[in-house]
Homo-oligomer: A and B are copies of this chain.
Amino acid sequence: MAVTAFLTTCLRGAGQVMFQNNPVTGALILAAVLWGAFASGRPAVGAGAVVGLVVGTGAAYLLGVDVRTLRQGMYGFSPLLTGAALPTFLGNRPSTWILLVLGAAVTTVVTLAIGNVFTTWNVPALTFPFVLTTWILTLAAYQFAVIAGSLPAPALPAALGPDAARFGADAGALVTAVLKGVSQVFLIGNWVSGLLILVALAVNSRWAAGIAAAAAVVGTLVAIGFGADATAIGEGLWGYSAVLTAVALGCVFFRPSVRVLLYALLGTVFTVLVQAALDTVVAPYGVPTFTAAFVFATWLFLLPKRDLVPTPHHEPVPDGVLTSKGAT
């Protein structure tokens, strides 16, 4: 593949994190990620995203995957996230970069594997290859003296309780939280990055930009309404999964309509609950949930099919090995 074609493929891969097959969108998103990484004093996170994107796309090329989907960036978006996540949680040290290159390549293998499984039901793998690979690498860190990091401390889940500090009704703080919610899709908590990502979306699809912004508001407000941890709300951690679910359901896999938007709204609110449930599930393991809430909620809302007839309760299925001798 020529260098230009490879670069375009990588940029489209950056855009595909938000389902946009557009190199300009991808370039703006990369700029937003790099801005957020530098602004927070963690340039390794931005560098990791770029390395992950390039290694994952290159691994797909070496594995000889379908060229058309390769060029759409379908093998770049998950490794990009793997590459952003590892320096964030394992620190900027040599072992992190070994794991990052290995992990980005494995993310591509996992993309092929999960894609093969879910294509059975005409549903995409979404960012699950990133989530699965990065869960494995961060969980593995606990067993190795050479790998360490800034992972959350393992703890049994504790109910937040009615006395927990609540998010204040400050309009400015709310706007910041919402925009950070958009940027947290890329593990970046920076409202400028969030704004730039919305612009990147608008370049390719105004529906996508509008739905993303609305979903960040919905996710944040639902979290405020249920009384989630105020710090996490302020960091945009209740927005990013909602953003991804809403864009996926609202204008990528279904065509926008009133029915579809209501369905996407239900899915978006449900994503907030899945996010909370996953926070509880990972608590004893001291690893983040990444974009798992989006993945699981979106799968559940994409899997229903028109005129689906469930396997019935009222008549026997072919009765298996038990009567095979009696057959004929």
Within 8 A of B (CB), among A176-218: none
Within 8 A of B (CB), among A136-179: 136-137, 139-148, 151, 154-164, 166
Indicate whether A226 sits within 8 Å of B146 (C-beta atoms), given known contacts A116-B121, A304-B112. Answer: yes
The CA of A17 and the CA of B154, in the complex, are separated in Å by: 36
Tell me if B63 and A304 are in contact (CB < 8 A): yes
Indicate whether A322 sits within 8 Å of B259 (C-beta atoms), given known contacts A110-B300, A157-B285. Answer: yes
Min Cβ gap A250→B in Å is 11
Tell me if A121 and B117 are in contact (CB < 8 A): yes
Tell me if A142 and B307 are in contact (CB < 8 A): no
The CA of A303 and the CA of B114, in the complex, are separated in Å by: 8
Copies in the complex: 3
Tell me if A139 and B311 are in contact (CB < 8 A): no
Contact of A311 among B122, B154, B324 (CB under 8 A): B122
Other than the given A142-B276, A146-B162, A148-B159, 12 more pairs (CB < 8 A) read: A21-B314, A72-B314, A113-B300, A113-B301, A113-B304, A115-B310, A122-B318, A136-B273, A142-B158, A146-B226, A253-B319, A308-B321
